[in-house]
Structure 1
Amino acid sequence: MTYKTIYLQHDNLRLSAMVQGPENGPVAMLVHGFPDTPHSWNGVADGLAQAGYLVVRPWLRGYTPGSVSPSAAYDPFNAGLDLLAWRHLFQGREVHLVGHDWGAVAGMAAAATDPQAWTTLSLLAIPPFQKVERAWRLLPKQLVLSAYMLEMQSASAPARLVDNQFGRIRAFWNSWSPGWKYAESEIQPVFDAFSNSGVAWAATRYYRSLFTLHHAPTRSIYALSRKPLKVPTLVLAGENDGCMQAALLEPMVDARYFPKGVRSCTLRGCGHFLQAEQPGAVLQELLAHLRGQDRIH
């Protein structure tokens, strides 16, 4: 299915989004993560559009040349504010927010900041963090899986992402989604995006922002991560996720922090990029979640 590109000027950045589907349908906003682009949502987006949703796929700030600026902040708190700015384009409409990886973290920030803005929230590959301390038995393994975050702190990290024909990015895809035989056409949009040195630089800044507690956005994202999410929420994980282990869901999803309800599900036979690996299964779970709330509203 074809899409058009729309633009939004926000925070002195030119943000971009891919849009497809019926103009008068409820809105499904699909947000990508790292190292990724909105293209990984292709199969899910087509299915949602065919089901009657207007599908909006924003690029995270910093992932397009127009949204790269040395004076801008690249962190999930500001990315969440971007999502709220996109949402304001659809005043009076139901908007379902779906995020993967950094898109999920930004989605949680946006939902915690303004829960009334969203009809539903769906999180892929990232669990909610309100009760992260409950996962202490899993933390040794998770620290190993998350060691790449320290790599992202280096000034040489942007160059390393693109060296050897994007070998580091390919290694992330291979280890985070083990066994996934993706086509070159599926990873090529990521190579195209990261071939811009500004994009590679901005993408690594998200990881650096996790450790800058002297910056207000970093303190804000940690504060927001502890807040209840007052939006009906779906949490999906891939059984073989090599980045964020699926076993985190059980201890970290606490229904008391989801007064509008929460459901979690682990998809068998897929890894971190579950929306690209198993778009049909993800679409089925999303439609059940979205349609349930559409009927309520």
Structure 2
Amino acid sequence: MMSNTQILQRDQLDLSALVDYPEIEYAPGGIGNSPVAMLVHGFPDTPHSWGKVAQGLVQAGYTVVRPWLRGYTPASVKHGASYDPYTAGLDLLAWRDMFAGRKVHLVGHDWGAVAAMAAVATQANAWETLSLLAIPPFQRVERAWRLLPRQMVMSQYMLEMQAASAPVKLAANQFGRVRALWSSWSPGWKFTNSDIDPVLEAFSNPKVAWAATRYYRSLFTLHRVATRSIYASSRKPLNVPTLAMAGQDDGCMQAALLNVMIEPTCFPRGIRSEILSNCGHFLHAEQPDAVLSKLLAHFDAQ
């Protein structure tokens, strides 16, 4: 597997992505038209958590693109820039344009899943398939009312992120808050230093920690066009074959929300859901083999 870092200039920001190539891409006479899998991370996370899934996809013949969400690298932080899932979804479409003429499968986890849904709602024909990890589709969120009391308790951290002090608190006490989020969201996962170190390195930069918290603040700024676009796009049908996955033990977003909120008519080309047992929020890092198998089956079915 050969990898490099690509830069995309957009909105006066330098966005970055890891790109992993299968052997056919760089072997003598390589044709350079392998299908593409775009894997998008969430919070608090980086593209590195996709490592094992990416390796498996490359071995299966896919070029793998792992973008950093805007704001998760110092060169993509600028006061006055927008940090919200709708704008991040437009970034994904810009990354997709770099692979014109190829089939591109879009996979998102956490905020990456929300950005992915925004990208599909904006331009469905750009994508071959959509896969959502740990986040349910939102078109029928009102159906989840019986689960909302528990979910509101689980989602209290979102209010915490509204505070001006939130970026500093994420890094305080040797990143105790970041470690606590990982532990409570994936309670059965004994993550190692190598798993979490890329996240701690990213959040050691105060600019990155600031930008990452802006995604949560964007949910409450209804005076902004981008915020209104988030909610408008979340109601739109997603006209691509879709796979939705969740971990049974997710401590951030209840797995039960998945089947409650899915409305098949909002997915004209079909949707399938999978709940992984003995798995939490970071399912692609906890059970990469299971996630890889389900992704490949989803891609190959199209």
Deviations 1:203-246 (A, max 9, x none): 00000000000000000010000000001000000000000000
Quick one: which of 209, 217, 223 aligns to 1:200?
A: 209
The 10-residue stretch of structure 1 (242-251 or 2-11) with the greater mean CA deviation from structure 2? 2-11
Equivalent-residue separation in structure 1 for 2:38 and 2:146 (angstroms)? 34
Q: 1:114 maps to what in 2?
A: 123
Runs of 5+ unmatched residues, structure 1:
none
Q: 2:252 maps to what in 1?
A: 243
Q: 1:152 maps to what in 2?
A: 161
- 1:21 matched to 2:21? The reply is yes
Quick one: which of 28, 31, 35 aligns to 2:40?
A: 31
Deviations 1:227-266 (A, max 9, x none): 0000100000000000000000111011110001100000
Equivalent-residue separation in structure 2 for 1:254 and 1:104 (angstroms)? 17
Q: 2:9 maps to what in 1?
A: 9
Q: 2:184 maps to what in 1?
A: 175
Equivalent-residue separation in structure 2 for 1:44 and 1:120 (angstroms)? 17
Equivalent-residue separation in structure 2 for 1:191 and 1:280 (angstroms)? 25
Equivalent-residue separation in structure 2 for 1:216 and 1:85 (angstroms)? 20
Q: 1:77 maps to what in 2?
A: 86
Deviations 1:106-129 (A, max 9, x none): 000000000000000000000000
Equivalent-residue separation in structure 2 for 1:21 and 1:233 (angstroms)? 24
Closer, same or farther: CA 210–89 of 1 in aligned 2, 3 Å: same
TM-score by length of 1: 0.98
Q: 1:56 maps to what in 2?
A: 65
The runs of 4+ residues in structure 1 deviating greater than 4 Å are: none
SS, match of residue 52 in structure 1: coil
- 1:186 matched to 2:203? The reply is no
- What residue identity is the alignment partner of 1:240? D
Equivalent-residue separation in structure 1 for 2:249 and 2:49 (angstroms)? 18
Equivalent-residue separation in structure 1 for 2:2 and 2:253 (angstroms)? 32
Q: 1:291 maps to what in 2?
A: 300
Equivalent-residue separation in structure 1 for 2:49 and 2:277 (angstroms)? 19
Please tell me whether the aligned partners of residues 242 and 272 of structure 1 are also in contact (alpha carbons under 8 angstroms): yes
Equivalent-residue separation in structure 2 for 1:5 and 1:18 (angstroms)? 5
Equivalent-residue separation in structure 1 for 2:21 and 2:3 (angstroms)? 8
RMSD of aligned Cα (Å): 0.6
Q: 2:75 maps to what in 1?
A: 66
Per the TM alignment, residue 21 of structure 1 is displaced from its structure 2 partner at its CA by 2.0
- What residue identity is the alignment partner of 2:15? L
Per the TM alignment, residue 292 of structure 1 is displaced from its structure 2 partner at its CA by 1.1
Q: 1:128 maps to what in 2?
A: 137
Aligned identity (percent) is 71
- What residue identity is the alignment partner of 1:185? S
SS, match of residue 3 in structure 1: strand
- 1:223 matched to 2:237? The reply is no
Per the TM alignment, residue 2 of structure 1 is displaced from its structure 2 partner at its CA by 4.8
Please tell me whether the aligned partners of residues 153 and 208 of structure 1 are also in contact (alpha carbons under 8 angstroms): yes
SS, match of residue 83 in structure 2: coil
Equivalent-residue separation in structure 2 for 1:253 and 1:280 (angstroms)? 25
- What residue identity is the alignment partner of 2:130? L
SS, match of residue 175 in structure 2: helix
Equivalent-residue separation in structure 2 for 1:273 and 1:249 (angstroms)? 16
SS, match of residue 301 in structure 2: helix
